[in-house]
């Protein structure tokens, strides 16, 4: 009997006897299924349970599950205990802390819809953990008369771990340990874990990086086969490939990167024509070395992206490829994928061509060096750089006219001492040279996406795109509410357009709220992700967009290079199916989220380390969040968040008003609102808790 017939018989019996629990052997008889199909029956029962079609009690009893409104998605837990399940369509379901069950951050879960909140928000309850995101964690070891415990470092985990019996003496009280999740049975309050490794005491050099790697399960080791593959390529292998390439070695091109950069993804060239320019964006041809299914490819795909921690990086590719053979180093032949764009004086891209090439970068510039040239410093390539700046202005003007949003958010730049401790934090500066490179990369990514979209229309060939969907009505409503409370004029249409955001951002350029408003604007928008559906990019106001320019550090870019070569006829590799690409897009989006969280968590750890040496000092900041128990303040220079407890506001009793995002004094009517500038003093810092406490300096 085939599987489909067995499944039909099973479901018929269960449907006809709703509310009754069956053991597999009883079901075999009730459904008149042959003994030799018993193993298939047991496998099907497990599959049907995991799909949510039937219920399971204990390990060996099953019953029909009445259809309920259920969804499957990835759980994102906040540090305050509640969370959201992110669905494939980009929407979210709110989950209260008491409705998490045994789910942890980033688990794949099944959710039962409980009710619809205001607007388009749903609220739900987790009913099943389909797949754990991770099973290894880090935490602080504790020993008491009741047993051995590990308190997770990740504050999104609201339970303590119980160490399995039989591991006494492995750790000392207060040490940070790495543990493996063994089990978490239904009805048990604590997960059972096994200690894998003792990492050390808090404050030990390098511990913070080890914590981040363990907490986020970041791959750091390469297999011997992968390293051997990377080492097998030599400069001779570059020269042997030249005959298969368009030779651009005489073209004047150069790279522009940060001072600390070790790998160079992209080089640029420009030629002045009568009616405009020919802009060349030349990208390292990683796909020539990293072939599908090879040992390096398997490792790179697993990583999905490079992760940039404070003071170090975990690269997507082995060092030999990332900073040597793939890197577009100066004064040496390098294989590349070139995108040559003919651009008119009006900024319109009239024609383009993408092809495998070989280039010979003439110079390795830093951003600061290019900035000096733009300010008038002489250089043999000054003419090219000034022409690039002319084109950059035109491209930016043309993009902005279509509504592209230009957020100019500063980021903290942390300087470490020799021991790895932060001794300085300053806001980043966005130079014109940064904008120049960004604008040219945007143009190349857009052109590449348009080519993929064209191939899809003409030959139904799949592509992978970087999409950014329109904000939800609920997010827009909350954003408008905040702007109204701050008395900031806004004209956000319905449906919202990118231009609405751009007009608003321009209006607050000189406002003291600028940084705060830009952050709130960013939070109100959906998260960009990878998809096989070409849904456009809201923030950039592009109909088509992808990632093509960074294959050394992003797997989607490497995939796009492979697609380009396949569709241009430059490779015999089999063309990927739409289903395979869709799975890859989802995987890369998930790996990107992990990398962003790891980078953010390490940044906050370093910010708090910096602040821990400044207890008692005063700083200017802005109120970034208001709750019943107080308000959060983001410090102006370092961007560190801290909490001003409502109990510390001694001049009045303050009540929380949700409609105005404020704490208001009952007697004085004095208000502390979202976005208000304040001056605070640091009273305490707990790096392990991820918290800083401030008190307000009263005016």
pLDDT score of 393 more than 80: yes
Sign, Cα dihedral of 169, 170, 176, 179: negative
**Structure confidence at residue 264 (pLDDT):** 93
Where does a domain end: 601, 632, 658? 601
| Enclosing H/E stretch for 129 | strand 122-131
Q: Is residue 25 part of a domain?
A: yes
Residue appearing with tokens 């309850």: 125
282 Cβ neighbours under 8 A, 6+ residues apart: 248, 253, 266, 267, 268, 269, 328, 336, 337, 338, 339, 357, 359
**Structure confidence at residue 120 (pLDDT):** 59
Q: Packing angle between helix 432-459 and helix 555-568, nearest 10 degrees?
A: 50
Q: Is residue 333 part of a domain?
A: yes
Same domain flag for 261 and 347: yes
Same domain flag for 673 and 690: yes
Residue 44: give its domain's CATH number.
Answer: 1.10.10.10
**How many C-beta neighbours within 10 Å does residue 46 have?**
13
What's the rounded mean pLDDT across residues 562-585?
90
For the chain, what's the residue count? 699
What's the rounded mean pLDDT across residues 392-397?
96
| Enclosing H/E stretch for 139 | strand 136-144
Same domain flag for 444 and 587: yes
Q: Is residue 12 part of a domain?
A: yes
Q: Is residue 210 part of a domain?
A: no
CB-based contacts of 675-679 (< 8 A; 24+ apart in sequence): 675/482, 675/485, 675/486, 675/513, 675/516, 675/517, 675/622, 675/623, 676/622, 676/623, 677/512, 677/620, 677/621, 677/622, 678/620, 678/621, 678/622, 678/623, 678/633, 678/644, 679/618, 679/619, 679/620, 679/621
Contact 249, 360 (CB under 8 A): yes
652 Cβ neighbours under 8 A, 6+ residues apart: 665, 666, 667, 668, 670
Structure tokens belonging to residue 367: 């951003």
Question: How far apart, in whole angstroms, are the C-alpha atoms of residue 47 and residue 58?
Answer: 16
Q: Does residue 592 sit in helix, strand or coil?
A: helix
pLDDT bin (cut points 50, 70, 90) of residue 592 is very high
Share of the chain above pLDDT 90, in %: 60
CA 331 to chain centre: 35
pLDDT score of 445 more than 60: yes
119 Cβ neighbours under 8 A, 6+ residues apart: 472, 473, 474, 477
**Structure confidence at residue 116 (pLDDT):** 65
What's the rounded mean pLDDT across residues 642-659?
89
**Structure confidence at residue 530 (pLDDT):** 97
| Enclosing H/E stretch for 42 | helix 38-51
3-state helix, strand, coil in the chain (%, to 5): 35, 30, 35
Same domain flag for 546 and 576: yes
Contact 34, 1 (CB under 8 A): yes
pLDDT, tens digit (0-9, with 9 covering 90-100), for 243-282: 999 999 999 999 999 998 888 999 999 999 999 999 999 9
Question: How far apart, in whole angstroms, are the C-alpha atoms of residue 62 and residue 553?
Answer: 47
pLDDT, tens digit (0-9, with 9 covering 90-100), for 316-353: 999 999 999 999 999 999 999 999 999 999 999 999 99
DSSP string, 364-386: EEEHHHHHHHHTT---TTHHHHH
Question: How far apart, in whole angstroms, are the C-alpha atoms of residue 57 and residue 81?
Answer: 28
Question: How far apart, in whole angstroms, are the C-alpha atoms of residue 453 and residue 472?
Answer: 26
Q: Is residue 499 part of a domain?
A: yes
pLDDT, tens digit (0-9, with 9 covering 90-100), for 200-239: 988 788 899 999 998 898 999 999 999 999 999 988 888 9
Nearest to 247 by CA among 179, 149, 335, 347: 335
Question: How far apart, in whole angstroms, are the C-alpha atoms of residue 511 and residue 514?
Answer: 5
Nearest to 525 by CA among 538, 513, 535, 536: 538
Is the pTM higher than 0.85? The answer reads no
* Distance linking the first and last C-alpha atoms of the chain: 82
Q: What are phi and psi of 344, to 5 degrees?
A: -80, 170
Question: How far apart, in whole angstroms, are the C-alpha atoms of residue 508 and residue 519?
Answer: 12
Same domain flag for 454 and 573: yes
| DSSP letter assigned to residue 571 | -
Residue 87: give its domain's CATH number.
Answer: 2.40.50.140
Same domain flag for 188 and 235: no
Question: How far apart, in whole angstroms, are the C-alpha atoms of residue 596 and residue 582?
Answer: 21
Same domain flag for 291 and 364: yes
**How many C-beta neighbours within 10 Å does residue 198 have?**
14
Where does a domain end: 115, 131, 147? 131
Query: Regarding beta strands 246-247 and 349-360, do their DSSP bridges make them parallel or antiparallel, or are they unpaired?
Result: parallel
| Counts of helices then strands in the chain (DSSP H, E) | 16, 33
pLDDT bin (cut points 50, 70, 90) of residue 118 is low
Same domain flag for 406 and 286: yes
| Number of structural domains found in the chain | 6
569: buried, middle or exposed (CB in 10 Å: 19+, 13-18, 0-12)? exposed
35 Cβ neighbours under 8 A, 6+ residues apart: 28
Nearest to 91 by CA among 540, 494, 470, 547: 470
Structure tokens belonging to residue 94: 């709110």
pLDDT bin (cut points 50, 70, 90) of residue 500 is confident
Question: How far apart, in whole angstroms, are the C-alpha atoms of residue 640 and residue 590?
Answer: 26
CA 551 to chain centre: 17
Q: Is residue 194 part of a domain?
A: yes
pLDDT score of 65 more than 90: no
Same domain flag for 330 and 428: yes
Same domain flag for 385 and 478: no
Same domain flag for 412 and 503: no
Sign, Cα dihedral of 241, 246, 248, 253: negative
Q: Is residue 284 part of a domain?
A: yes
Q: What are phi and psi of 156, to 5 degrees?
A: -75, -10
Same domain flag for 88 and 116: yes
pLDDT, tens digit (0-9, with 9 covering 90-100), for 543-567: 999 999 999 999 999 999 999 999 9
Structure tokens belonging to residue 418: 């020799």
**Mean pLDDT comparison of 2-11, 28-37, 157-166, 589-598, highest-scoring range:** 589-598
Q: Is residue 150 part of a domain?
A: yes
pLDDT score of 153 more than 80: yes
For residue 697, give Cα distances in angstroms to 1, 617, 680, 683, 694.
78, 11, 5, 12, 9
Where does a domain end: 201, 236, 255? 201
What's the rounded mean pLDDT across residues 84-103?
87
- The range of the structural domain enclosing residue 86 comes to 70-131
pLDDT bin (cut points 50, 70, 90) of residue 639 is confident
Nearest to 374 by CA among 443, 428, 437: 437
pLDDT bin (cut points 50, 70, 90) of residue 297 is very high
Question: How far apart, in whole angstroms, are the C-alpha atoms of residue 581 and residue 670?
Answer: 56
């Amino acid at each position: 009997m085939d599987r489909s017939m067995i499944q039909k018989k099973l479901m018929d019996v269960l449907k006809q006897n709703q509310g009754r629990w069956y053991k597999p052997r009883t079901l075999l008889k009730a459904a008149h299924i042959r003994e030799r199909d018993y193993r298939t029956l047991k496998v099907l029962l497990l599959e049907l349970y995991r799909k949510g079609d039937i219920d399971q009690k204990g390990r060996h009893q099953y019953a029909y599950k009445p259809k309920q409104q259920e969804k499957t998605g990835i759980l994102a837990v906040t540090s305050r205990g509640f969370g959201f399940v992110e669905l494939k369509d980009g929407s979210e379901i709110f989950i209260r802390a008491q409705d998490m069950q045994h789910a942890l951050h980033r688990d794949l879960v099944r959710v039962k819809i409980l009710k619809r909140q205001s607007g388009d928000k749903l609220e739900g309850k987790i009913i099943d953990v389909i797949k754990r995101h991770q099973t290894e964690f880090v935490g602080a070891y504790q020993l008491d008369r009741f047993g051995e415990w590990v308190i997770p470092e990740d504050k999104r985990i609201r339970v303590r771990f119980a160490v399995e019996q039989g591991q006494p003496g492995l750790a000392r009280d207060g040490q940070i340990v790495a543990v493996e999740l063994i089990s978490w049975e239904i009805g048990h309050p604590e997960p059972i874990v096994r200690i894998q490794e003792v990492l050390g005491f808090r404050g030990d050099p390098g511990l913070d990086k080890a914590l981040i790697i363990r907490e986020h399960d970041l791959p750091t080791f390469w297999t011997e086969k992968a390293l051997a593959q990377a080492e097998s390529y030599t400069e001779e292998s570059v020269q042997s490939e030249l005959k298969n390439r368009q030779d651009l070695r005489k073209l004047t091109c150069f790279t522009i990167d940060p001072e600390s950069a070790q790998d160079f993804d992209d080089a640029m060239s420009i030629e002045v024509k009568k009616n405009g320019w020919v802009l060349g964006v030349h990208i390292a041809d990683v796909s020539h070395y990293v072939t599908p299914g090879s040992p390096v490819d398997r490792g790179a795909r697993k990583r999905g992206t490079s992760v940039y921690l404070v003071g170090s990086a975990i690269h997507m590719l082995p060092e030999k490829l990332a900073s040597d053979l793939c890197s577009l180093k100066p004064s040496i032949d390098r294989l590349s994928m070139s995108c040559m764009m003919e651009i008119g004086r009006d900024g319109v891209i009239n024609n383009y061509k993408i092809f495998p090439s070989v280039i010979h970068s003439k110079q390795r510039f830093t951003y600061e060096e290019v900035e000096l040239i733009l300010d008038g410093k002489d250089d043999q390539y000054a003419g090219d750089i000034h022409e690039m700046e002319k084109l950059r202005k035109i491209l930016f003007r043309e993009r902005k006219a279509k509504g592209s949003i230009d957020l100019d958010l500063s980021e903290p730049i942390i300087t470490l001492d020799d021991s790895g401790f932060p001794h300085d934090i300053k806001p980043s500066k966005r130079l014109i040279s940064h904008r120049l490179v960004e604008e040219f990369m945007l143009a190349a990514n857009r052109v590449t996406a348009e080519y993929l979209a064209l191939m899809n229309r003409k030959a139904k060939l799949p592509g992978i795109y970087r999409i950014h969907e329109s904000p939800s009505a609920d997010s827009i409503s909350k954003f408008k509410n905040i702007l109204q409370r701050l008395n900031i004029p806004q004209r956000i249409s319905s449906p919202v357009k990118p231009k609405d955001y751009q007009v608003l951002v321009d209006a607050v350029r000189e406002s003291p709220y600028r940084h705060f408003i830009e952050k709130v604007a960013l939070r109100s928008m959906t998260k960009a992700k990878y998809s096989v559906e070409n849904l456009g990019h809201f923030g950039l106001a592009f109909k088509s967009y992808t990632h093509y320019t960074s294959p050394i550090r992003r797997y989607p870019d490497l995939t796009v290079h492979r697609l380009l070569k396949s569709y241009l006829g430059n490779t015999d590799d089999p063309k990927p199916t739409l289903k395979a690409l869709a799975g890859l897009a989802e995987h890369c989006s998930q790996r990107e989220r992990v990398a962003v969280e790891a980078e953010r968590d390490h940044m906050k750890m370093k910010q708090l380390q910096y602040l821990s040496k400044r207890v008692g000092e005063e700083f200017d900041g802005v109120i970034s969040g208001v709750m019943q128990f107080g308000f959060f303040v983001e410090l102006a220079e370092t961007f560190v968040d801290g909490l001003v407890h409502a109990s510390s506001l001694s001049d009045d009793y303050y009540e929380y008003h949700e409609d105005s995002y404020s704490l208001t004094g009952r007697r004085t009517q004095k208000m502390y609102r979202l976005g208000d500038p304040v001056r605070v003093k640091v009273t305490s810092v707990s790096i392990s808790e991820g918290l800083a406490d401030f008190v307000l300096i009263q005016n």
